[in-house]
Amino acid sequence: MTEKRQRGLVPIVVGVLALALVGLLVYGVVHGGDDTSLDDAVKKGELPVAPGRTLERPLLDGSGQKSLADYSGKVVVLNFWASWCEPCIDEASVLEKAQKALTASGDGTVFGATYQDVSDKSVQFEREHGITYPSVRDMETKLAQKYGTSKLPETFVLDRKGRIVAISRGQISQKFLDSAIEKAKASA
């Protein structure tokens, strides 16, 4: 091939590569992003079974391991949180109030799962905010990934059969949590 002809091919190759890159970007935007399959199911009135129910995680206090399956037959408020998350601080009292009500009635528990947090900081967070519900360290975010969790805080309310009845991707309000817990209690 002549040098002139090779120089003529360079813009074509660059163009083809640029088109391929644009195609990959478009594919990523269309097929990527947040996993909303659980959210979509709950919005349609479906009750998807909570993923990762048997995945055991170490308790933050070091006293063993727990999984969501340990609370079968109970209402569970699964909350992903971290000590560095400002909205997590703001909702801590709402979750603790729910914990007190759920344990007093025997209906269930709040179940925390830390997300990309240092254990010492998580323990300090619980102490500072008077958290009494069990929390696990979600090492490598294995549990969080099953829920499509990538931002904090996120809360999933499960009925007694381990099905998701409500989801909050963001800071919860007392009104949301009260309503979600009532829905979980009433779920047949």
> How confident is the model over 118-143, as pLDDT tens digits?
999 999 999 999 999 999 999 899 99
List 58's β-bridge partners, or say none.
65
Matching residue, tokens 């102490």: 127
**pTM over the 0.95 mark:** no
Predicted confidence at residue 69, as pLDDT, reads 97
Q: Look up the CATH superfamily of 37-186.
A: Glutaredoxin (3.40.30.10)
HEC profile of 92-131: HHHHHHHHHHHHHHCCEEEEEEECCCCHHHHHHHHHHCCC
Looking at residue 188, what is its pLDDT? 72
- Residues (pLDDT < 50) of the chain are 17-18, 20-33
Across all residues in the chain, what is the average pLDDT?
87
CA distance 186 to 88: 27
Compute the Cα dihedral for 171, 188, 111, 53 and give only its sign. Answer: negative
Q: Who's near 181: CB < 8 A, 6+ residues apart?
A: 75, 77, 98, 101, 102, 107, 108, 157
The pair of three-digit structure tokens given for residue 96, joined into one six-digit string: 């603790």
Q: So what's the pLDDT on residue 11?
A: 63
**What does the pLDDT read at residue 3?**
60
Q: What is the pLDDT of residue 184?
A: 97
Which pLDDT belongs to residue 15?
54
Element (H, E) at 178: helix 174-186
